[in-house]
Structure 1
Amino acid sequence: MKEFLRQVERNCISGALVLLPLLVFFVLLEKVWKFFQNYGEKFAHFLRLDLILGKYATDIAGGVILILLVYFSGYLMRLSLLRRFTKWVDDKLMIFLPGYEKNKKEAEAKLNKRKGKPSTDLPILLKNGEFWQPAHLIEEDEKGNAVVFLPNAPAKDQGQILIVKKSDFKKLSETTLGNLDNSIKSFGKGILSFK
C-alpha cells in the first residue's frame, strides 16, 4: 500500500512539473493574443475592415500586427543592447520557469535543422590528454574543425577559446548548458552523471 501511495505521489509531482510550464505558456499566450486583439480591433475599425470582414477583422488585424512586430524585432536583435537585454530576460526565465531552457534548446535545434546549420553552443566534454574537461561547443565547420570555450571553474564566463578537431570532444546531448554551468560553479559536482 505504501509503495502504491509513493507511486501516486511521484506521478502527481511529475505531472505537475510537466503541466506547470505548459499552463504558464498558454496563460502568457492568451494575454499576448488579447493585447494584440485589442489593437487589432482599433486598427481594423480605423481601416474599416470590420465592415468587410465582420468579427474576424479583429483577429486578422491583430495577427498581422503580431507578425510585423516579430519580423521587425529580428532587425532590432542586431543591436547589442537589445541582445544583452534579451539574454538577461532569458536568464531570468530559466530561473523562474522550470523546463524553459530545455524547451528553448529543443526549439533552437529544430530551427537549426530546418536551416541546415549544425547545433552550436552545446555542452561537451573536451579530450585533453588522458582526461576530459567540460566545455561549450561554440561553432563547427564542414572541414571537421570546431571552436570550443573552456571555462575556468568556478567562473563559467572566464576561460579559453580553443580550435579543435571534432574527434577531440563528445557532445552531451541530454545535458543543458545551465546544468553544465552550475556544475562548473560547484567545481565539477554532478558531471559524472551527464550524458
Structure 2
Amino acid sequence: MKKFLLQAERNLISGALVLLPLLVFFILLGKVWKFFQNYGEKFAHFLRLDLVLGKYATDIAGGIILLVLIYFSGFLMRLAILKRFTNWVDEKLMIFLPGYEKNKKEAEEKLLKRNHEPKPITDLPILLKNGNFWQPAHLIEENENGMAVIFVPNAPAHNEGQILIVKSEDFKKLAETSIASLDNSIKSFGKGILSFK
C-alpha cells in the first residue's frame, strides 16, 4: 500500500509538472488571441468584411493582424536595443514560467529544420575531468588534433564562466542531454546532473 501511495504521489507530481507549462501556455495564447480578436472585429467592421464573411470575419482579420505584426517584428529584431529588450524579457519568462526555455528551444529547432538551416554541431553538453571530479561544461569547438575549446559556466549563471582549451580525452560528451537541460541543472546548482547521459 505504501509503495502504491508513493507511486501515485510521483505520478501526480509528474503530471502537474507536465500540465502546468501547457496550462500557462494556453492561458497566455487565449489572452493574446482575444486581444487580436478585438482589433480584428473593428478592422473587419471597418472594411465591411463582417457583411461578407459573417462571424468568421473577426477571426480572419485578427489572424491577419497577428501575422503582419509578427512579420514586421522580424525586421525590428535587427535593432540591437530591441534585441536586448527581448533577451531581458526571455530571461524573466524563464524564471516565472516553468518549461518556457525548453519549449522555446524546441520551437527554434523546428524553425531551423523548416528553414533548412543546418543545426550547429557545436555547443554540446559535456563533463570535464578536473582532477578527481567531473564538471559540467559546453563543448564549443573541437579539431582533428585532439584539442577542444570548452566553456565552463559558473553556477547558477549558466551564461557566465571560463573558456578553456583542453585535450579531447579530458571530457566526455553527454550525447542524450540537451544544452537546455544542462543549463537548467546549472541554474539549480547541479540538480539532475547525475541522471544525464
Q: Per-residue CA shift, 1:96-140, capped at 9, x if unaligned?
A: 111221222222222222223214674422778999764445689
| Letter matched to residue 17 of structure 1 | L
| Letter matched to residue 179 of structure 1 | N
Q: What residue number does 1:108 align with?
A: 108
Deviates more, 1:66-75 or 1:6-15: 6-15
Specify whether residues 117 and 102 from structure 1 end up closer, same or farther in structure 2 by C-alpha distance, changes over 3 A only: same
SS at match of 2:126: strand
Q: What's the TM-score, normalizing by structure 2?
A: 0.75
| Letter matched to residue 182 of structure 1 | K
* Unmatched tracts of structure 1, length 5 or more: none
Deviates more, 1:90-99 or 1:22-31: 90-99
Q: What residue number does 1:178 align with?
A: 183
Aligned equivalents of 1:107, 1:123: Cα separation in 2: 18
Specify whether residues 26 and 148 from structure 1 end up closer, same or farther in structure 2 by C-alpha distance, changes over 3 A only: farther
User: How far apart are 1:14 and its partner, in Å?
Assistant: 0.9
Aligned equivalents of 2:141, 2:33: Cα separation in 1: 36
SS at match of 1:174: coil
Aligned ranges 1:93-172 → 2 under 5 Å: 93-114=93-114, 115-119=116-120, 122-125=123-126, 134-136=136-138, 150-151=151-152, 153=154, 156=158, 157-160=160-163, 170=173, 172=175
Aligned equivalents of 1:121, 1:104: Cα separation in 2: 19
Q: What's the TM-score, normalizing by structure 1?
A: 0.76
User: How far apart are 1:158 and its partner, in Å?
Assistant: 4.4
Number of equivalent positions: 186
Specify whether residues 169 and 77 from structure 1 end up closer, same or farther in structure 2 by C-alpha distance, changes over 3 A only: farther
Aligned equivalents of 2:40, 2:136: Cα separation in 1: 49
Indicate conservation of the 8 Å contact 2:128/2:135, yes or no: yes
User: How far apart are 1:160 and its partner, in Å?
Assistant: 3.2
Q: What residue number does 1:194 align with?
A: 196
User: How far apart are 1:17 and its partner, in Å?
Assistant: 0.8
Specify whether residues 57 and 106 from structure 1 end up closer, same or farther in structure 2 by C-alpha distance, changes over 3 A only: same
Indicate conservation of the 8 Å contact 1:134/1:150, yes or no: no
What is the CA RMSD across the aligned residues, in angstroms?
A: 3.4
Q: What residue number does 1:25 align with?
A: 25
Q: Is 1:3 aligned to 2:3, yes or no?
A: yes
Indicate conservation of the 8 Å contact 1:122/1:172, yes or no: no
Aligned equivalents of 1:30, 1:99: Cα separation in 2: 18
User: How far apart are 1:13 and its partner, in Å?
Assistant: 1.0
Indicate conservation of the 8 Å contact 1:109/1:119, yes or no: no
Aligned equivalents of 2:109, 2:184: Cα separation in 1: 18
Aligned ranges 1:21-60 → 2 under 5 Å: 21-60=21-60
SS at match of 1:52: helix
Specify whether residues 64 and 190 from structure 1 end up closer, same or farther in structure 2 by C-alpha distance, changes over 3 A only: closer
Specify whether residues 190 and 14 from structure 1 end up closer, same or farther in structure 2 by C-alpha distance, changes over 3 A only: closer
User: How far apart are 1:149 and its partner, in Å?
Assistant: 5.8
Indicate conservation of the 8 Å contact 1:126/1:133, yes or no: yes
Aligned equivalents of 1:18, 1:93: Cα separation in 2: 17
Indicate conservation of the 8 Å contact 1:120/1:137, yes or no: no
